[in-house]
């Protein structure tokens, strides 16, 4: 049974993987046997994360590119495949947040959220899928959110982008399943990450969250690893277009 979840001989590219959820997923995939390709725009942070993972015994590549730059993404992915071989697993994790009441939300930040949270999934997904389709296999995992299904005051544009990620995941599966690809999403609940630092540091919000979440607490990023390994492995060979909520039950309850 354990062989179903083994990632030995696979290589995974994780966008936005120098910190937070991306780094935790990268570490988890490496521990399951995968070679990992770290991505980000900050080369110093990328190198530091790569050094840490190498010290832990992981086989690590660094691939710096801006996930919102279509031509740059294509060149980076094509170049990596030519130089190093197949990217078998893609985790589209790059994302950002901006909190402002909707009536005051800056238009330029709305556009930046669309590019970072949605367009990047298309750019990197398409670049990797073209190679996966040629090989007749591949795994794409998009990082969605509880905001794929729910809304909360002050983050309507973020909610918009994560709803789009959920539907883009369905579209990827619909177009690419016939080529042997499995395209799914993980929707994290509220996790203690740099992206959520303002909320984690707010005692009032944390108290609200603990009451609102059936599990009664913030999530730890390591608790996302099992879902990612499952969706990256042969164990999910007939799972396609699915969004897996890892949220302590928050989307299941009122």
Identify the CA nearest to 151 among candidates 169, 163, 136, 135.
Answer: 163
Residue recorded with tokens 């399951």: 32
In sequence order, what are the residues at sequence separation of 6 or more whose Cβ sits closer than 8 angstroms to the Cβ of residue 194? 19, 20
Q: How far apart are the first and last CA of the chain?
A: 37
Q: How far apart are CA 34 and CA 6, in angstroms?
A: 8
- The DSSP secondary-structure symbol of 224 reads G
Active site residue: 80, 105, 122, 158, which one? 158
Q: How far apart are CA 250 and CA 183, in angstroms?
A: 24
Q: How far is CA 223 from CA 7, 13, 62, 119, 135, in A?
A: 18, 20, 25, 27, 31
Task: Based on the residue annotation, tell me whether 158 is a catalytic residue of this protein.
Answer: yes
Residue positions annotated with a catalytic role: 158
């Amino acid at each position: 049974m354990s062989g179903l979840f083994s990632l030995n001989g696979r290589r995974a590219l994780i966008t936005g993987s120098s910190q937070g959820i991306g780094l935790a997923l990268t570490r988890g995939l490496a521990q399951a046997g995968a070679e990992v390709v770290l991505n980000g725009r900050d080369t110093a942070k990328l190198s530091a994360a790569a050094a840490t993972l190498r010290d832990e015994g992981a086989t690590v590549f660094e691939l710096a590119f801006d996930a919102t730059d279509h031509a740059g993404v294509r060149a980076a992915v094509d170049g990596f495949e030519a130089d190093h071989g197949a990217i078998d697993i893609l985790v589209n994790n790059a994302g950002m947040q901006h909190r402002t009441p909707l009536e005051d939300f800056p238009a330029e930040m709305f556009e930046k959220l669309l590019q970072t949270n949605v367009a990047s999934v298309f750019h990197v997904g398409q670049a990797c899928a073209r190679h996966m389709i040629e090989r007749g296999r591949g795994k794409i995992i998009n990082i969605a959110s509880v905001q794929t299904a729910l809304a909360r005051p002050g983050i309507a544009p973020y909610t918009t982008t994560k709803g789009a990620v959920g539907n883009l995941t369905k579209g990827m599966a619909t177009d690419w399943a016939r080529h042997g690809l499995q395209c799914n999403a993980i929707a994290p609940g509220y996790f203690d990450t740099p992206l959520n630092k303002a909320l984690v540091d707010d005692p009032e919000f944390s108290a609200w969250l603990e009451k609102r979440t059936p599990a009664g607490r913030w999530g730890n990023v390591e608790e996302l690893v099992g879902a990612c390994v499952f969706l990256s492995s042969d164990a999910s060979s007939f799972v396609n277009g699915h969004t897996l909520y890892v949220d302590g039950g928050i989307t299941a309850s009122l």
